[in-house]
Structure 1
Amino acid sequence: MGSADRSETESAPLGILPATFSYSQALEAGLSEWQLYQLRDQGIIEPVGRGLYRRHDADGADIDLIEVAHRAPSATLCLTTALARHGLTDEIPSRIDAALPRGRHRPATTAPVAWHWFDPATFEIGRTELQLDPDTSIGLYSAERSIIDAVRLRHREGPDLAYAALRRWLRRGNASPAKLLRMARQFPRAERPLREALEILL
Protein backbone atom coordinates (compact mmCIF):
# COMPACT_ATOMS: atom_id res chain seq x y z
CA MET A 1 0.00 0.00 0.00
CA GLY A 2 1.45 3.39 -1.00
CA SER A 3 1.83 6.28 1.40
CA ALA A 4 -1.10 8.14 -0.20
CA ASP A 5 -3.36 5.10 0.18
CA ARG A 6 -2.19 4.60 3.76
CA SER A 7 -2.89 8.28 4.58
CA GLU A 8 -6.38 8.01 3.05
CA THR A 9 -7.13 4.87 5.06
CA GLU A 10 -5.89 6.42 8.28
CA SER A 11 -7.95 9.58 7.84
CA ALA A 12 -11.13 7.78 6.71
CA PRO A 13 -12.81 7.97 10.17
CA LEU A 14 -12.38 11.74 10.01
CA GLY A 15 -15.28 11.91 7.55
CA ILE A 16 -17.80 10.77 10.18
CA LEU A 17 -16.71 13.36 12.73
CA PRO A 18 -18.39 16.80 13.03
CA ALA A 19 -16.52 19.93 11.92
CA THR A 20 -15.29 20.41 15.50
CA PHE A 21 -14.63 17.36 17.65
CA SER A 22 -12.93 16.33 20.86
CA TYR A 23 -10.01 13.99 21.39
CA SER A 24 -12.33 11.36 22.86
CA GLN A 25 -14.70 11.63 19.86
CA ALA A 26 -11.75 11.04 17.54
CA LEU A 27 -10.77 7.88 19.41
CA GLU A 28 -14.37 6.64 19.40
CA ALA A 29 -14.48 7.18 15.62
CA GLY A 30 -11.50 4.87 15.20
CA LEU A 31 -8.58 7.27 14.97
CA SER A 32 -5.54 6.41 17.02
CA GLU A 33 -3.64 9.05 18.96
CA TRP A 34 -0.79 8.77 16.44
CA GLN A 35 -3.17 9.24 13.49
CA LEU A 36 -4.75 12.25 15.16
CA TYR A 37 -1.38 13.93 15.62
CA GLN A 38 -0.43 13.07 12.03
CA LEU A 39 -3.57 14.78 10.76
CA ARG A 40 -2.72 17.79 12.87
CA ASP A 41 0.87 17.92 11.61
CA GLN A 42 -0.36 17.60 8.00
CA GLY A 43 -2.71 20.55 8.47
CA ILE A 44 -5.81 18.41 7.89
CA ILE A 45 -7.11 19.37 11.33
CA GLU A 46 -6.20 22.24 13.61
CA PRO A 47 -6.34 22.55 17.40
CA VAL A 48 -9.14 24.78 18.67
CA GLY A 49 -8.25 24.33 22.32
CA ARG A 50 -6.90 21.66 24.59
CA GLY A 51 -8.24 18.32 23.35
CA LEU A 52 -10.46 20.03 20.77
CA TYR A 53 -9.90 19.99 17.00
CA ARG A 54 -11.50 21.38 13.85
CA ARG A 55 -11.36 19.94 10.36
CA HIS A 56 -9.50 22.13 7.88
CA ASP A 57 -12.22 21.56 5.25
CA ALA A 58 -14.91 23.02 7.52
CA ASP A 59 -16.49 26.35 6.61
CA GLY A 60 -15.12 29.45 8.29
CA ALA A 61 -16.46 30.18 11.78
CA ASP A 62 -15.57 32.13 14.92
CA ILE A 63 -13.17 29.65 16.51
CA ASP A 64 -13.29 31.33 19.93
CA LEU A 65 -17.08 31.00 20.07
CA ILE A 66 -16.84 27.42 18.81
CA GLU A 67 -14.55 26.58 21.72
CA VAL A 68 -16.82 28.27 24.28
CA ALA A 69 -19.86 26.41 22.92
CA HIS A 70 -18.08 23.06 23.18
CA ARG A 71 -16.64 23.71 26.64
CA ALA A 72 -19.92 24.97 28.10
CA PRO A 73 -23.09 24.04 26.14
CA SER A 74 -25.24 26.32 28.32
CA ALA A 75 -22.97 29.35 27.79
CA THR A 76 -24.91 32.38 26.55
CA LEU A 77 -23.47 35.54 25.04
CA CYS A 78 -24.48 38.51 27.16
CA LEU A 79 -23.80 42.16 28.05
CA THR A 80 -21.35 43.96 25.73
CA THR A 81 -20.79 40.92 23.50
CA ALA A 82 -24.53 40.40 23.00
CA LEU A 83 -25.20 44.12 22.55
CA ALA A 84 -22.51 44.25 19.87
CA ARG A 85 -24.12 41.27 18.10
CA HIS A 86 -27.41 43.17 18.07
CA GLY A 87 -25.76 46.37 16.80
CA LEU A 88 -26.55 48.24 20.03
CA THR A 89 -23.03 49.31 20.95
CA ASP A 90 -19.91 50.36 19.11
CA GLU A 91 -17.72 48.92 21.85
CA ILE A 92 -15.52 46.03 20.80
CA PRO A 93 -15.08 43.81 23.85
CA SER A 94 -11.58 42.49 24.44
CA ARG A 95 -13.12 39.35 25.93
CA ILE A 96 -16.24 37.33 25.18
CA ASP A 97 -18.99 38.04 27.73
CA ALA A 98 -20.63 34.67 28.42
CA ALA A 99 -23.18 33.82 31.08
CA LEU A 100 -23.61 30.54 32.92
CA PRO A 101 -26.28 29.55 35.47
CA ARG A 102 -25.01 30.35 38.95
CA GLY A 103 -23.32 27.30 40.47
CA ARG A 104 -21.92 25.96 37.20
CA HIS A 105 -18.21 25.29 36.92
CA ARG A 106 -16.19 27.79 34.91
CA PRO A 107 -14.53 25.87 32.06
CA ALA A 108 -10.93 26.46 31.04
CA THR A 109 -10.63 27.99 27.57
CA THR A 110 -7.86 29.35 25.41
CA ALA A 111 -10.37 31.91 24.10
CA PRO A 112 -10.51 35.14 26.17
CA VAL A 113 -13.78 34.89 28.12
CA ALA A 114 -15.32 37.00 30.87
CA TRP A 115 -17.66 34.61 32.67
CA HIS A 116 -20.82 35.89 34.37
CA TRP A 117 -23.10 33.89 36.65
CA PHE A 118 -26.82 34.56 36.31
CA ASP A 119 -29.73 33.33 38.42
CA PRO A 120 -30.83 29.88 37.16
CA ALA A 121 -34.49 30.90 37.69
CA THR A 122 -34.25 33.62 35.02
CA PHE A 123 -31.38 32.25 32.93
CA GLU A 124 -33.57 31.13 30.00
CA ILE A 125 -35.52 34.41 29.72
CA GLY A 126 -34.74 36.00 26.36
CA ARG A 127 -32.25 33.27 25.48
CA THR A 128 -31.96 32.46 21.78
CA GLU A 129 -29.47 30.43 19.74
CA LEU A 130 -26.76 31.69 17.42
CA GLN A 131 -25.75 29.11 14.80
CA LEU A 132 -21.97 29.00 14.45
CA ASP A 133 -21.74 26.16 11.94
CA PRO A 134 -24.01 23.27 10.89
CA ASP A 135 -23.08 21.30 14.02
CA THR A 136 -22.60 24.00 16.66
CA SER A 137 -24.67 26.79 18.18
CA ILE A 138 -24.23 29.02 21.21
CA GLY A 139 -26.74 30.84 23.39
CA LEU A 140 -27.35 34.52 22.71
CA TYR A 141 -29.55 36.81 24.77
CA SER A 142 -32.08 38.86 22.83
CA ALA A 143 -31.65 42.61 22.43
CA GLU A 144 -34.26 43.26 25.15
CA ARG A 145 -32.68 40.87 27.65
CA SER A 146 -29.21 42.28 26.90
CA ILE A 147 -30.42 45.82 27.66
CA ILE A 148 -32.05 44.65 30.90
CA ASP A 149 -28.85 42.94 32.00
CA ALA A 150 -26.79 46.03 31.18
CA VAL A 151 -29.18 48.16 33.27
CA ARG A 152 -29.27 45.84 36.28
CA LEU A 153 -25.49 45.42 36.21
CA ARG A 154 -24.70 49.06 35.41
CA HIS A 155 -22.77 49.40 38.69
CA ARG A 156 -20.30 46.89 37.21
CA GLU A 157 -20.53 47.52 33.48
CA GLY A 158 -21.05 51.29 33.63
CA PRO A 159 -24.30 53.20 32.98
CA ASP A 160 -23.17 54.49 29.57
CA LEU A 161 -23.29 50.99 28.06
CA ALA A 162 -26.87 50.42 29.18
CA TYR A 163 -28.41 53.75 28.31
CA ALA A 164 -26.60 54.18 24.99
CA ALA A 165 -27.88 50.73 23.98
CA LEU A 166 -31.40 51.66 25.10
CA ARG A 167 -31.37 54.87 23.04
CA ARG A 168 -30.13 53.06 19.95
CA TRP A 169 -32.71 50.30 20.40
CA LEU A 170 -35.55 52.84 20.69
CA ARG A 171 -34.63 54.31 17.29
CA ARG A 172 -35.47 51.00 15.63
CA GLY A 173 -38.84 50.69 13.99
CA ASN A 174 -39.64 47.37 15.69
CA ALA A 175 -38.68 48.38 19.25
CA SER A 176 -41.46 47.69 21.75
CA PRO A 177 -41.02 49.44 25.13
CA ALA A 178 -44.05 47.55 26.46
CA LYS A 179 -42.40 44.22 25.65
CA LEU A 180 -39.16 45.40 27.25
CA LEU A 181 -40.93 46.41 30.46
CA ARG A 182 -42.86 43.12 30.62
CA MET A 183 -39.56 41.25 30.55
CA ALA A 184 -38.00 43.70 33.04
CA ARG A 185 -40.66 42.87 35.64
CA GLN A 186 -38.86 39.60 36.21
CA PHE A 187 -35.67 41.51 37.13
CA PRO A 188 -36.52 43.80 40.08
CA ARG A 189 -33.20 45.66 39.99
CA ALA A 190 -33.76 46.65 36.38
CA GLU A 191 -37.46 47.48 36.14
CA ARG A 192 -37.54 50.81 37.99
CA PRO A 193 -34.42 52.43 36.43
CA LEU A 194 -35.49 51.17 33.02
CA ARG A 195 -38.97 52.61 33.41
CA GLU A 196 -37.50 55.95 34.52
CA ALA A 197 -35.12 56.00 31.55
CA LEU A 198 -37.96 55.28 29.13
CA GLU A 199 -40.03 58.14 30.58
CA ILE A 200 -37.16 60.52 29.81
CA LEU A 201 -36.36 59.15 26.37
CA LEU A 202 -39.88 58.71 25.00
Structure 2
Amino acid sequence: MSSGSTAAFEPTDPVEEETARRVTAAGVRASTLRALPTTPVFRPADTGLSHPTLRRLLQAGIIEKVGHGLYRRLDAPLVDLDLAEVAARAPLGTLCLVSALARHDLITAIPEHHDIALPRGHGSVTTPAPVAWHYFDAATFDVGRTQVSIEGTAATIGLYSPERSIADAFRLRHQVGQEVAVEALRTWLRRPGASPADLLRTAAQLPRARRPIAEALAVLL
Protein backbone atom coordinates (compact mmCIF):
# COMPACT_ATOMS: atom_id res chain seq x y z
CA MET A 1 0.00 0.00 0.00
CA SER A 2 1.34 3.47 -0.83
CA SER A 3 1.84 6.01 1.94
CA GLY A 4 -0.95 8.14 0.47
CA SER A 5 -3.62 5.46 0.66
CA THR A 6 -6.24 5.32 3.35
CA ALA A 7 -5.42 3.12 6.30
CA ALA A 8 -6.30 -0.55 6.08
CA PHE A 9 -6.56 -2.73 9.15
CA GLU A 10 -7.02 -6.41 9.78
CA PRO A 11 -9.07 -6.22 12.98
CA THR A 12 -8.60 -8.98 15.49
CA ASP A 13 -11.18 -7.88 18.05
CA PRO A 14 -14.33 -5.70 18.20
CA VAL A 15 -12.37 -2.65 19.41
CA GLU A 16 -9.97 -2.80 16.48
CA GLU A 17 -12.89 -3.42 14.12
CA GLU A 18 -14.64 -0.27 15.33
CA THR A 19 -11.40 1.72 15.04
CA ALA A 20 -10.95 0.50 11.47
CA ARG A 21 -14.49 1.57 10.61
CA ARG A 22 -13.99 5.07 12.01
CA VAL A 23 -10.60 5.48 10.34
CA THR A 24 -12.01 4.50 6.96
CA ALA A 25 -15.09 6.72 7.36
CA ALA A 26 -12.93 9.74 8.22
CA GLY A 27 -10.57 9.18 5.31
CA VAL A 28 -7.53 9.04 7.57
CA ARG A 29 -4.44 7.90 5.67
CA ALA A 30 -2.07 5.22 6.79
CA SER A 31 0.80 7.71 6.67
CA THR A 32 -1.12 9.95 9.08
CA LEU A 33 -1.53 7.14 11.59
CA ARG A 34 2.15 6.33 11.32
CA ALA A 35 2.94 9.99 12.10
CA LEU A 36 1.17 9.75 15.46
CA PRO A 37 3.62 9.37 18.35
CA THR A 38 3.58 6.14 20.30
CA THR A 39 3.26 8.04 23.57
CA PRO A 40 -0.33 8.65 24.77
CA VAL A 41 -0.08 12.45 25.13
CA PHE A 42 1.52 14.61 22.48
CA ARG A 43 1.73 18.10 21.05
CA PRO A 44 0.91 18.53 17.32
CA ALA A 45 3.92 20.82 16.96
CA ASP A 46 6.12 17.81 17.70
CA THR A 47 4.51 15.66 15.00
CA GLY A 48 4.07 17.98 12.01
CA LEU A 49 0.35 17.16 11.80
CA SER A 50 -1.71 19.90 10.14
CA HIS A 51 -4.89 21.38 11.62
CA PRO A 52 -7.13 19.67 9.00
CA THR A 53 -5.50 16.34 9.83
CA LEU A 54 -6.05 16.90 13.55
CA ARG A 55 -9.72 17.61 12.85
CA ARG A 56 -10.06 14.33 10.93
CA LEU A 57 -8.38 12.41 13.73
CA LEU A 58 -10.68 14.05 16.28
CA GLN A 59 -13.76 13.31 14.15
CA ALA A 60 -12.65 9.70 13.76
CA GLY A 61 -12.34 9.33 17.53
CA ILE A 62 -8.68 8.41 17.29
CA ILE A 63 -7.50 11.30 19.46
CA GLU A 64 -9.04 13.76 21.90
CA LYS A 65 -7.98 17.19 23.06
CA VAL A 66 -7.02 17.14 26.74
CA GLY A 67 -5.52 20.59 27.24
CA HIS A 68 -4.14 23.66 25.55
CA GLY A 69 -2.11 22.27 22.66
CA LEU A 70 -2.24 18.74 24.09
CA TYR A 71 -3.89 15.67 22.59
CA ARG A 72 -4.26 12.06 23.72
CA ARG A 73 -4.56 8.89 21.71
CA LEU A 74 -7.81 7.21 22.73
CA ASP A 75 -6.25 3.78 22.33
CA ALA A 76 -3.55 4.68 24.85
CA PRO A 77 -3.53 3.93 28.59
CA LEU A 78 -4.54 6.71 30.95
CA VAL A 79 -1.76 9.00 32.13
CA ASP A 80 -1.45 11.92 34.54
CA LEU A 81 -2.80 14.54 32.16
CA ASP A 82 -2.49 17.26 34.80
CA LEU A 83 1.28 16.83 35.05
CA ALA A 84 1.59 16.51 31.28
CA GLU A 85 -0.16 19.85 30.88
CA VAL A 86 1.97 21.49 33.58
CA ALA A 87 5.13 20.25 31.86
CA ALA A 88 3.91 21.61 28.52
CA ARG A 89 3.00 25.03 29.86
CA ALA A 90 5.84 25.44 32.37
CA PRO A 91 8.95 23.45 31.38
CA LEU A 92 10.74 24.65 34.53
CA GLY A 93 7.89 23.49 36.75
CA THR A 94 9.13 21.30 39.59
CA LEU A 95 7.20 19.10 42.00
CA CYS A 96 7.86 20.43 45.49
CA LEU A 97 6.64 20.50 49.09
CA VAL A 98 3.75 18.07 49.79
CA SER A 99 3.66 16.76 46.20
CA ALA A 100 7.36 15.95 46.25
CA LEU A 101 7.19 14.43 49.73
CA ALA A 102 4.33 12.19 48.62
CA ARG A 103 6.16 11.25 45.45
CA HIS A 104 9.10 10.10 47.57
CA ASP A 105 6.72 8.18 49.89
CA LEU A 106 7.80 10.27 52.87
CA ILE A 107 4.29 11.12 54.05
CA THR A 108 0.97 9.30 54.16
CA ALA A 109 -1.17 12.27 53.10
CA ILE A 110 -2.60 12.27 49.58
CA PRO A 111 -2.11 15.74 48.04
CA GLU A 112 -5.27 17.54 46.98
CA HIS A 113 -3.38 19.44 44.30
CA HIS A 114 0.02 19.55 42.65
CA ASP A 115 2.61 21.75 44.40
CA ILE A 116 4.72 23.16 41.57
CA ALA A 117 7.73 25.42 42.02
CA LEU A 118 8.96 27.99 39.50
CA PRO A 119 11.90 30.37 39.78
CA ARG A 120 10.93 33.75 41.19
CA GLY A 121 10.39 36.20 38.35
CA HIS A 122 8.90 33.57 36.06
CA GLY A 123 5.71 34.72 34.38
CA SER A 124 2.41 33.50 35.73
CA VAL A 125 1.02 30.24 34.37
CA THR A 126 -2.65 29.42 33.95
CA THR A 127 -3.82 25.83 33.83
CA PRO A 128 -7.13 24.08 34.55
CA ALA A 129 -5.18 21.44 36.48
CA PRO A 130 -5.36 21.71 40.30
CA VAL A 131 -2.00 23.39 40.90
CA ALA A 132 -0.60 25.50 43.73
CA TRP A 133 2.24 27.55 42.27
CA HIS A 134 5.24 28.39 44.46
CA TYR A 135 7.96 30.84 43.48
CA PHE A 136 11.43 30.00 44.79
CA ASP A 137 14.63 32.05 44.70
CA ALA A 138 16.16 31.67 41.24
CA ALA A 139 19.66 31.49 42.74
CA THR A 140 18.87 28.25 44.59
CA PHE A 141 16.08 26.92 42.37
CA ASP A 142 18.22 24.08 41.01
CA VAL A 143 19.43 22.83 44.41
CA GLY A 144 18.36 19.18 44.59
CA ARG A 145 16.38 19.42 41.36
CA THR A 146 16.10 16.38 39.08
CA GLN A 147 13.93 15.38 36.14
CA VAL A 148 11.51 12.45 36.13
CA SER A 149 9.42 10.96 33.36
CA ILE A 150 5.66 11.40 33.29
CA GLU A 151 4.48 7.84 32.83
CA GLY A 152 2.95 7.13 29.46
CA THR A 153 4.31 10.28 27.83
CA ALA A 154 7.54 11.52 26.33
CA ALA A 155 7.46 14.46 28.73
CA THR A 156 9.46 15.00 31.90
CA ILE A 157 8.89 17.23 34.90
CA GLY A 158 11.16 18.56 37.60
CA LEU A 159 11.22 16.91 41.02
CA TYR A 160 13.12 17.97 44.12
CA SER A 161 15.19 15.36 45.95
CA PRO A 162 14.01 14.00 49.31
CA GLU A 163 16.58 16.18 51.12
CA ARG A 164 15.53 19.36 49.31
CA SER A 165 11.86 18.53 49.80
CA ILE A 166 12.34 18.06 53.56
CA ALA A 167 14.33 21.30 53.80
CA ASP A 168 11.59 23.17 51.96
CA ALA A 169 8.93 21.64 54.21
CA PHE A 170 10.71 22.92 57.32
CA ARG A 171 11.44 26.40 56.00
CA LEU A 172 7.85 26.69 54.74
CA ARG A 173 6.24 24.77 57.60
CA HIS A 174 3.72 27.58 58.05
CA GLN A 175 2.34 26.45 54.67
CA VAL A 176 2.62 22.66 54.84
CA GLY A 177 2.36 22.19 58.60
CA GLN A 178 4.99 21.29 61.18
CA GLU A 179 3.56 17.79 61.53
CA VAL A 180 4.02 17.10 57.82
CA ALA A 181 7.65 18.24 57.92
CA VAL A 182 8.41 16.12 60.99
CA GLU A 183 6.67 13.04 59.52
CA ALA A 184 8.73 13.34 56.36
CA LEU A 185 11.96 13.70 58.32
CA ARG A 186 11.16 10.75 60.59
CA THR A 187 10.33 8.52 57.62
CA TRP A 188 13.47 9.59 55.75
CA LEU A 189 15.71 8.88 58.76
CA ARG A 190 14.54 5.25 58.78
CA ARG A 191 15.77 4.68 55.25
CA PRO A 192 19.11 3.03 54.53
CA GLY A 193 21.73 5.56 53.51
CA ALA A 194 19.95 8.58 54.96
CA SER A 195 22.64 11.06 55.96
CA PRO A 196 21.70 13.88 58.34
CA ALA A 197 24.95 15.59 57.34
CA ASP A 198 23.86 15.65 53.69
CA LEU A 199 20.46 16.94 54.71
CA LEU A 200 21.99 19.76 56.74
CA ARG A 201 24.29 20.68 53.84
CA THR A 202 21.27 20.98 51.57
CA ALA A 203 19.37 22.98 54.18
CA ALA A 204 22.30 25.37 54.62
CA GLN A 205 21.88 26.49 51.02
CA LEU A 206 18.29 27.59 51.64
CA PRO A 207 16.88 30.36 53.85
CA ARG A 208 15.39 29.51 57.25
CA ALA A 209 15.88 25.76 56.80
CA ARG A 210 18.96 24.59 58.67
CA ARG A 211 18.07 25.64 62.22
CA PRO A 212 14.59 24.00 62.46
CA ILE A 213 15.95 20.81 60.88
CA ALA A 214 18.89 20.71 63.30
CA GLU A 215 16.48 21.15 66.20
CA ALA A 216 14.23 18.34 64.91
CA LEU A 217 17.21 16.04 64.38
CA ALA A 218 18.32 16.64 67.98
CA VAL A 219 14.97 15.29 69.15
CA LEU A 220 14.60 12.40 66.67
CA LEU A 221 18.15 10.99 66.75
CA distance in 1, matches of 2:28, 2:94: 39
Find the aligned partners of 2:154 and 2:162 in 1 and give their Cα distance: 24
Q: State yes or no: 1:49 paired with 2:88.
A: no
Map of 1:36 onto structure 2: 54
| CA apart distance, 1:151 | 0.3
1:22 to 43, 59, 62: 43
Q: How does 1:4-153 map to 2 (within 5 A)?
A: 4=24, 6-8=27-29, 11-12=32-33, 14-15=35-36, 19-25=40-46, 29-31=48-50, 33-132=51-150, 133=152, 135-153=154-172
> What percent of counterpart residues are identical?
51
Choose the corresponding residue for 1:155, options 164, 174, 179.
174
Q: Are the aligned partners of 1:79 and 1:146 in contact in 2 as well (CA < 8 Å)?
A: yes
Asked if the contact 2:168–2:209 (Cα under 8 Å) also holds between the matched residues in 1, the reply is yes
Which residue identity does 1:184 align to in structure 2?
A: A
For the Cα contact (< 8 Å) 1:13–1:30, is it kept in 2?
Answer: no
Q: Which moved more, 1:38-47 or 1:190-199?
A: 38-47
The CA deviation at 1:59 is 4.8
Please say if residues 10 and 35 of structure 1, whose CA atoms lie closer than 8 Å, have aligned partners that are also in contact. Answer: no
The code of the aligned residue for 1:161 comes to V
The whole-number CA distance in structure 2 between the counterparts of 1:74 and 1:39 is 31
The residue that corresponds to 1:191 in the other structure is 210
- Equivalent AA in structure 1 for residue 167 of structure 2: I
Q: Deviations over 1:15-66 (max 9, x none)?
A: 368643335556xx142x2331231232211222123212234454211111
Q: Give aligned pairs, total.
A: 199
Aligned-pair RMSD on alpha carbons?
2.3
Alpha-carbon deviation of 1:184? 0.8
Q: Which amino acid aligns with 1:196?
A: E
Q: CA deviation at 1:13?
A: 6.7
Give how far 1:116 is off.
Answer: 0.4
Q: Which amino acid aligns with 1:95?
A: H
TM-score by length of 2: 0.81
Contact 2:41 2:153 in 1 (8 A): no
- TM-score, structure 1 normalization: 0.88
SS at match of 2:208: helix
AA at the equivalent of 1:21: F
TM-aligned CA distance change 1:105 to 1:180, over 3 Å: same
Of residues 5-14 and 109-118 in structure 1, the stretch that sits farther from structure 2 once superposed is: 5-14
Letter in 1 for 2:42: F
Structure label with greater radius of gyration: 2
User: Where does the alignment leave 5 or more consecutive residues of structure 1 unmatched?
Assistant: none
